């Protein structure tokens, strides 16, 4: 498929944001792994096939040098014949892994080598709901805000949300069911508002959200949540690989082997300006230390984003309770994330609630 026009639009969007084209097109080598790939988000029985706070991360490190698996194992205190896996070395939630030696050792390696972290992070449930807002005419003034509000509302009572969405076969809502489907969401918003303090500033924004859903009952259709596959809320994540290949077409991309992704990507041509892209390859992680480093990085990032996906007061309370070791490692992480963002602002990409993204940047400034 010819992506020339899409690539041109990407460059125009960067110009509009004041980001220099060189960040997009300068040659760099990026290594990748993934974490949290649930393959798809679907309704199974009365629940989803994954946790409601699931996060998918595709990313890793930018590096112009490399290390061997022997060097990496030695650094992490592993025997030569051992297998390096973040799922074994970084068990537990984000606060737990801040205490792990391997957490510190991986980040010290990145810092000392002057490598950078890059990633594309997807809050899966948020991604499952964005098409609802995009289907309603009157949300075009501030869609990111209302997507974030809707995500928080629907996630708060996930059992009710799943039951309601299943009843109307989301995202295959029939025209005859459109009004009832929207009415059910209005009821969920009302329930959420009812649980807030009377002086909560967010009430005004939620009232606007509610009214626009109520008004949408008059629309003839909801174009992005009708005629889709019943009960499949999020399809495969291959598109995020394709997005990296397309956006960073002037860079060298080295991915961990993912058979499903490899088969799909191999079956198509990604063409820009008449040339088929060949800027990417797949390597088996067991023999490549750089991809093994990425395995640790994306595991850390996934758990961190889940940690941030809560009320700011809850996140702050946990941070204030970090012991000295946890705080030192937390500051080290934020220092590297800040340096990576400064090096190339395109190394950070979220498909997530703007409230989560705002906390990510706020803590970089505070602790980085």
Two structure tokens written together for 266: 């191999």
Three-class secondary structure of residue 291 per DSSP? helix
The two three-digit tokens of residue 226, written as one number? 């009708």
Contact of 271 with 61, CB cutoff 8 Å: no
H or E segment and range at residue 362:
helix 354-367
The rounded distance, in Å, linking the Cα atoms of 162 and 46 is 7
pLDDT at position 172: 98
The angle formed by the CA atoms of residues 300, 283 and 82, to the nearest 5 degrees, is: 60
Please report, for residues 36, 102, 116, the alpha-carbon distance to residue 110 in angstroms, rounded to integers and kept in the order given.
Answer: 22, 12, 7
Between the alpha carbon of residue 360 and those of residues 216, 315, 353, 365, the distances in Å are: 33, 11, 11, 9
And the tokens for 28?
């760099």
The angle formed by the CA atoms of residues 99, 102 and 108, to the nearest 5 degrees, is 100
Over its C-alpha atoms, the chain yields an Rg (Å, rounded) of: 22
Contact present, 46 and 162 (Cβ < 8 Å) = yes
Helix (H, G, I), strand (E, B) or coil at 254: strand
Pick the closest to residue 171 from 126, 234, 237, 123 (CA basis): 234
The confidence score (pLDDT) of residue 65 equals 95
Q: Give the pairing type, strands 271-272 and 275-276.
A: antiparallel
Pull the structure tokens for residue 326: 């946890």
Task: Compute the distance between CA of residue 129 and CA of residue 272 in angstroms, rounded to an integer.
Answer: 31
pLDDT single digits (tens) 34-59: 999 999 999 999 999 999 999 999 99
Q: What stretches of 216-258 show up as alpha helix (H) in DSSP?
A: 238-247
pTM for this model (two decimals): 0.96
For the chain, which residues score pLDDT lower than 50?
none
57: closest CA among 356, 362, 268, 368? 356
**Cα–Cα–Cα angle for 49, 51, 52, nearest 5°?**
110
Give, in order, the Cα–Cα distances in Å from 137 to each of 184, 223, 224. Answer: 19, 10, 12
Q: Are 172 and 228 in contact (CB under 8 A)?
A: yes
């Amino acid at each position: 498929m010819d992506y020339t026009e899409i690539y041109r639009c990407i460059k125009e969007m960067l110009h509009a944001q004041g980001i220099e084209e060189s960040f997009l097109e300068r040659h760099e080598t990026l290594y990748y792994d993934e974490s949290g790939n649930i393959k798809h988000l679907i309704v199974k029985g009365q629940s989803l096939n994954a946790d409601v706070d699931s996060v998918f991360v595709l990313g890793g490190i930018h590096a112009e040098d490399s290390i061997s698996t022997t060097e990496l194992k030695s650094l992490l205190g592993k025997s030569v014949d051992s297998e390096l896996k973040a799922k074994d070395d970084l068990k537990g939630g984000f606060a737990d892994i801040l205490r792990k030696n391997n957490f510190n050792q991986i980040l010290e390696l990145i810092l000392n080598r002057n490598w950078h972290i890059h990633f594309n992070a997807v809050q899966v449930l948020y991604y499952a709901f964005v098409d609802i807002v995009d289907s309603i005419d009157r949300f075009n003034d501030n869609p990111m805000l209302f997507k974030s509000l809707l995500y928080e509302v629907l996630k708060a009572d996930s059992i009710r949300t799943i039951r309601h969405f299943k009843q109307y076969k989301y995202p295959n809502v029939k025209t005859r069911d459109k009004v009832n489907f929207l009415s059910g969401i209005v009821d969920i918003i009302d329930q959420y508002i009812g649980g807030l303090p009377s002086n909560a500033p967010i009430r005004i924004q939620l009232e606007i959200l509610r009214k626009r859903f109520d008004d949408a009952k008059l629309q003839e259709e909801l174009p992005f949540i009708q005629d889709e596959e019943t009960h499949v809320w999020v399809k495969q994540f291959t598109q995020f690989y394709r997005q990296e290949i397309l956006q960073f077409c002037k860079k060298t991309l080295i991915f961990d082997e993912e058979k499903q992704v490899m088969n799909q990507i191999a079956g198509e041509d990604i063409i820009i300006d008449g040339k088929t892209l060949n800027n990417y390859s797949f390597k088996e992680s067991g023999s490549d230390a750089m991809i093994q480093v990425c395995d640790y990085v994306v595991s850390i990032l996934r758990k961190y984003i889940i940690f941030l996906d809560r009320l700011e007061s809850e996140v702050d309370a946990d941070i204030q309770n970090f012991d000295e070791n946890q705080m030192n490692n937390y500051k080290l992480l934020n220092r590297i994330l800040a340096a990576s963002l400064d090096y190339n602002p395109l190394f950070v990409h979220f498909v997530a609630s703007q409230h989560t993204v705002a906390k990510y940047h706020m803590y970089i400034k505070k602790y980085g």
